[in-house]
């Protein structure tokens, strides 16, 4: 699978040429107080990275001499991991996910602008994270205001989602295999639910049986989202 993610990133970089593309992870969703909903990664972010944690940003900068693929992630934190789960961390993220460079997410303001200053166009989807949306706009506006002095920098912003929709219409053989496997598991679970459904059984009982098969049958594969 790492090679598949690398191939996807390469296709994006070929399409954006001298541009820079920024992709943000999905945010955590709070159920109530400090209890979170099960995390579900942003599809485009996962499609390009395979990284399955919140508070992360991926940057594709094909024009950069050394860092064409950059990740910003949460650092390791034993105390927080006790409550909210394991974190890959900065050092292991570089090794596991093939990034040319990885920074702590807290250093986004410090490092991200240098991957934009030589780009001719910025690709970013303005999603639900308003704080990040505002930061990206500030970076772009600052670079645009000094364009006449430097002669470089993104002069326009395009929606990265439109770029991704074009790519994701065509499936690689590995993706087709995953889709077929997911369909087979889904069919098995729903056929079993149909067989055991009868008057007097509660909906949550049927749901539990379906989800049991989903988890049991899917545990041997890599975590992924539909392509």
For every residue of 58-123, DSSP letters joined together read EEE-TTSSS-SEEEEEPPP-HHHHHHH----HHHHHHHHH--SEEEEGGGHHHHGGGGTTT-S-EE
| Mean pLDDT to the nearest integer, 187-209 | 96
Does pLDDT of 223 surpass 70?
no
| Mean pLDDT to the nearest integer, 121-144 | 93
Does pLDDT of 222 surpass 50?
no
pLDDT in tens, 70-118: 999 999 999 999 988 899 999 999 999 999 999 999 999 999 999 999 9
Residue 45 contacts residue 51 (beta carbons within 8 Å): yes
pLDDT in tens, 14-25: 999 999 999 999
CA 35 to chain centre: 22
Does pLDDT of 219 surpass 90?
no
Domain ranges, ordered by start, for the chain: 2-168, 173-218
d(CA 72, CA 51): 11
Whether pTM exceeds 0.75: yes
Which CA distances in Å does 152 have to 116, 149, 160?
9, 8, 21
User: What CATH number should be reported for the domain whose range is 2-168?
Assistant: 3.40.350.10
Residue 58 contacts residue 8 (beta carbons within 8 Å): no
């Amino acid at each position: 699978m790492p090679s598949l993610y690398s191939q996807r990133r390469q296709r994006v970089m070929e399409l954006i040429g001298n541009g820079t593309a920024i992709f943000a992870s999905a945010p955590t969703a709070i159920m109530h107080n400090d209890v979170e909903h099960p995390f579900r990664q942003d599809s485009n972010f996962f499609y390009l990275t395979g990284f399955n944690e919140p508070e992360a940003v991926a940057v594709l900068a094909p024009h950069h001499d050394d860092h064409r693929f950059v990740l910003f992630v949460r650092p390791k934190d034993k105390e927080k991991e006790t409550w909210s789960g394991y974190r890959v961390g900065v050092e292991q993220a570089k090794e596991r996910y093939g990034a040319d460079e990885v920074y702590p997410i807290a250093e986004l303001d410090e490092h991200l602008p240098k991957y934009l200053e030589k780009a001719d166009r910025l690709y970013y989807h303005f999603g639900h994270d308003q704080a990040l949306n505002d930061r990206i706009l500030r970076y772009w506006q600052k670079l645009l205001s000094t364009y006449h002095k430097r002669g470089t920098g993104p002069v326009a912003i395009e929606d990265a989602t439109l770029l991704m929709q074009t790519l994701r219409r065509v499936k690689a053989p590995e993706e087709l295999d995953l889709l077929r496997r997911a369909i087979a598991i889904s069919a098995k679970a729903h056929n079993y639910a149909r067989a055991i459904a009868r008057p007097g059984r509660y909906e949550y009982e049927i749901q539990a049986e379906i989800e049991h098969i989903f988890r049991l049958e899917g545990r041997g594969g890599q975590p992924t989202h539909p392509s």
